[in-house]
Structure 1
Amino acid sequence: MKKQLIMDKALELFAKQGFEATSVQQITEHCGISKGAFYLSFKSKDELIIALIDHFMMQFTTEIDYIVRNTEIEKLLYDFYYATFHSFHQHSDFAKILMKEQSQTFNEEFIVKMHYFDRLIENIILSMIERLYGEEVKQTKYDLMYCIKGFMNTYSQLFLFYNVPLDLNLLSESLVEKTNLLARHTHVPFISEDLIQVIKQPMCEEGSKEQILEILEQKIEEIEEPIEKESLILLKQQLREPTLSPAIVKGLLENIRNHPLCKWISYLLQNYFEV
């Protein structure tokens, strides 16, 4: 609870002043706690910033990944855009900070973390494109992926920074139309498979078996609800020694997916087991 309080209060200051201009002293005064209490929760301001990025980006990534995997084709693109802009609007203070700070920061850990989540989002978008259009966009899928990322970034700036009224339904419908036009009527690719390999940043190792096991053990200790706890234990056993069918694994993941402490581990396990 204290960590969450610090994150919430720090976010208020970061939104007004930015990362660099906000000191630990200001954060502790805004929280009404001592510096000692701050350092029991976070080793540094940089660690706090990374925790905020993780908190927001994990929620966003797991939400759009679930939509892409489970929504019917007819609604998929609309639901993807709706969830994207709803999340940006719901967390507008932090979304503004991320957009501003990415162009100004020299913090290497911040940059690496943002590249990591950016790659995850790119993979989710590519998965959606393949579900929607298949072989039809084989040559242009990477260009289309960057166009979708451009829509997400540019249109979110309109209501985050310029106070343009946000009509989520109209915006989502408009971008569905634009995306379909691009997918079906563009034939000259710029970004090839070879080029995408060149520009890819190395992924950090989150998602390895060892790291997932470490997170699982932590969550098993934290969770008190019996269904979620038992599901985590069975998933841990499956990770160490696979014996369960894909259907059972999928059911166990569904048991934990909506628990606020399990969204990220559910996402990591889903990708690891490929279900």
Structure 2
Amino acid sequence: MIKKQLIMEKALELFAKQGFESTSVQQITEHCGISKGAFYLSFKSKDELILALVDHFMIQITSDIDYKVKNTNNDEELLYEFYYAIFHSFHKYSDFAKFFIKEQTQSFNKELILKIRYYNRLMEKIILSMVERLYGEEVKHTKYDLIYCIKGFTNIYSELLLYNNISLDLDLLSQSLVEKTNLLAKHTTIPFISQDLIHLFKQPINEEVTKEQLIEMMEQKIEEVEDSIEKESLILLKQQLLKPNLSLVIVRGLLENIRNHPHCKWISYLLRSYYEF
């Protein structure tokens, strides 16, 4: 196993059990069976390690949920697929989910708070697109309340998955939350969270990535990825940005080629947003 990956996995086990602030570099190195010097060759500090962890897992989760929402064509299945994907991710990355939920409310690390807010905003953007697609004008004045209700459902019910040693029926849970969400969407009449209020308690973040930034990121990924269909697809996608000559169907196919590669998930997400797929 690559040393950096080993450190991230072992540190996460400790963070999930005792929290970030209570875990020392000494404890991490002992848990990994490595020296402190080996740790600092991979990460400059514990703070850098935690930011790398958040990026690593949130890129996986955010890109997977975004793909599921954008590629579920049947509106009647969309909300169910969203909830099921969320809880499946919580189950798959349970140690990270425990840590992430805890640190959102307890952390005093400014960089970590900003990082968490960034990914929360991306998830809210995904949920907003789903809500507008499913309910349209019906929730024109209540859509922001609905976003927070959906986030509340996922956070509260995730505790059942993460903190109880029992097997839960994700299918039934997803169906139940679909019913609850539809009732809220159809019958909520008193909005609380308006767009003006959103602007008051949320500082805007820059979610747009320029074509030049995309090209620079793709050049780095092309260097990282070994010869494969993913590397060839990245090269073609970069050429498409520089000099468009491919149909959108081909571009979509190339994005599908790179979507599941661990080094390409984020660039795939950014390119889908760029092309509005």
Normalising by structure 2, report the TM-score.
0.93
Question: In the comparison of the two structures, how many residue pairs are matched?
Answer: 275
Moved more, 180-189 or 148-157: 180-189
CA separation in 1, counterparts of 2:199 and 2:189? 21
Report how far residue 211 of structure 1 moved.
3.5
- Residue type of the partner of 2:267? I
- Residue type of the partner of 2:93? H
Report how far residue 161 of structure 1 moved.
2.6
- Residue type of the partner of 2:151? K
Identity of aligned residues (%): 73
Which residue of structure 2 lines up, in the alignment, with residue 258 of structure 1? 260
Which residue of structure 2 lines up, in the alignment, with residue 175 of structure 1? 177
Report how far residue 221 of structure 1 moved.
0.9
Given candidates 96, 99, 115, the residue that maps to 1:97 is: 99
Which residue of structure 1 lines up, in the alignment, with residue 155 of structure 2? 153
Q: Secondary structure at the match of 2:146?
A: helix
Q: Following superposition of structure 1 onto structure 2, how do residues 47-86 of structure 1 map, counting pairs within 5 Å?
A: 47-71=48-72, 72-86=74-88
Q: Following superposition of structure 1 onto structure 2, how do residues 181-220 of structure 1 map, counting pairs within 5 Å?
A: 181-204=183-206, 207-220=209-222
Gaps spanning 5+ residues in structure 2: where? none
- Residue type of the partner of 1:269? L
Give the conservation status (yes or no) of the 8 Å contact 1:216–1:236: yes
Given candidates 239, 244, 251, the residue that maps to 1:249 is: 251
Report how far residue 210 of structure 1 moved.
4.0
Report how far residue 82 of structure 1 moved.
0.7
CA separation in 2, counterparts of 1:274 and 1:18? 38
Report how far residue 112 of structure 1 moved.
0.4
Moved more, 201-210 or 21-30: 201-210
Report how far residue 163 of structure 1 moved.
4.7
Give the conservation status (yes or no) of the 8 Å contact 1:220–1:229: yes
Could you give the per-residue CA deviations for residues 215-250 of structure 1, whole angstroms, max 9, x where no partner exists?
212210111243211111122222334343322221
Gaps spanning 5+ residues in structure 1: where? none
Normalising by structure 1, report the TM-score.
0.94
CA separation in 1, counterparts of 2:71 and 2:28? 41
- Residue type of the partner of 2:237? L
Does residue 238 of the first structure (1) align with residue 240 of the second (2)?
yes
- Residue type of the partner of 1:191? I
CA separation in 2, counterparts of 1:195 and 1:205? 20
Does residue 229 of the first structure (1) align with residue 228 of the second (2)?
no
- Residues 1:152 and 1:212: Cα distance change in structure 2 (over 3 Å): same
- Residue type of the partner of 2:253? G
Does residue 32 of the first structure (1) align with residue 43 of the second (2)?
no
Report how far residue 20 of structure 1 moved.
1.2
RMSD over aligned Cα, in angstroms?
1.7
CA separation in 1, counterparts of 2:68 and 2:48? 30
Report how far residue 187 of structure 1 moved.
2.1
CA separation in 2, counterparts of 1:129 and 1:156? 21
